[in-house]
Amino acid sequence: MSRLSIELPGLSLKNPIMPASGCFGFGKEYAEFYDLDRLGAIMIKATTSEARFGNPTPRVAETTAGMLNAIGLQNPGLSGVLEQELPRLGQFDVPIIANVAGAKMEDYIEVAKKLSRSPYVAALELNISCPNVKQGGIAFGTIPEVAAELTAAVKQVSTKPVYVKLSPNVSDIVAMAKAVEAAGADGLSMINTLLGMRIDLKTRKPILANGAGGLSGPAIKPVAIRMIHQVSQVVSIPIIGMGGVQTVEDVIEMMLAGASAVAIGTANFVDPYICPRLIEELPAKLDELGINDVRELIGGSWREPCSVR
Partner 1 sequence: MQKQAIFKITSQQLVADRIYELTCEGEQVLQMTNPGQFVHIKVGNFDDILLRRPLSIGDVNLNSKTFKMIYRVEGQGTTRLSKKVAGEEIDVLGPLGVGFPVEEARQGETALLVGGGIGVPPLYYLSKQLVERGVNVIHVLGFQSKKDVFYEEEFSKLGPTYVTTVDGTYGTKGFVTNAIESYKLECDLLYSCGPSPMLRVLNEKYKGQRAYLSLEERMGCGIGACFACVCHTSDDPEGTSYRKVCTDGPVFKVGEVVI
Ligand X SMILES: Cc1cc2nc3c(=O)[nH]c(=O)nc-3n(C[C@H](O)[C@H](O)[C@H](O)COP(=O)(O)O)c2cc1C
Site stretch for ligand X (CB under 6 A), options 17-25, 149-157, 254-262, 298-306: 17-25
- Which CB, 80 or 90, lies closer to partner 1? 80
Beta bridge partners of 188: 164, 239
* Residue in 16, 95, 161, 244 binding a copy of itself, rule: CB under 8 A: 244
Residue 260 interacting entry, from ligand X, a copy of itself, partner 1, none, C-beta within 5 to 8 Å by type? none
> Taking CB under 8 A as the criterion, which residues in 55-94 touch partner 1?
57-62, 64-67, 69, 71, 74, 76-77
Reported for 295-298, long-range contacts at CB under 8 A and 24+ positions apart, including other chains, are 295/6, 297/252, 297/255, 297/256, 298/255, 298/258, 298/259, 298/260
CA angle at 309 for the pair 17 and 15, rounded to the nearest 5°:
20
Please tell me the distance from the alpha carbon of residue 10 to that of residue 271, in angstroms, as a whole number. 29
205 binds partner 1 per the rule CB under 8 A: no
Q: Note whether 192 and 130 are within 8 A (CB).
A: yes
Give whichever of 77 and 283 is closer to a copy of itself, judged by the CB atom: 283
Candidate list 118, 151, 246, 260; residue touching partner 1; CB under 8 A: 246
Q: What is the DSSP string of 21-77?
A: TTSSTTSHHHHTTS-GGGSS-EEPPPB-SS-B--PPSP-EEEETTEEEE-----B-H
Q: Are strands 42-43 and 6-8 parallel, antiparallel or unpaired?
A: unpaired
Q: Between 70 and 109, how does the x/- string for binding to a copy of itself read (CB under 8 A)?
A: ----------------------------------------
Active site residues: 130
Rounded Cα gap, residues 141 and 128, in angstroms: 5
* Of residues 15 and 75, the one with the C-beta less far from partner 1: 75
Determine if 210 is a binding residue for ligand X (CB under 6 A). Answer: no
Of residues 36 and 259, the one with the C-beta less far from a copy of itself: 259
Tell me whether residue 165 is annotated as binding.
yes
Residue 130 interacts with ligand X (CB under 6 A): yes or no: yes
Give, to the nearest 10 degrees, the angle between helix 248-257 and helix 274-288. Answer: 70
How many amino acids of this chain bind partner 1 (CB under 8 A)? 41
Out of 6, 13, 39, 73, the residue judged to bind ligand X by CB under 6 A: 73
Feature table: binding site for substrate: 45, 69-73, 127, 192-193
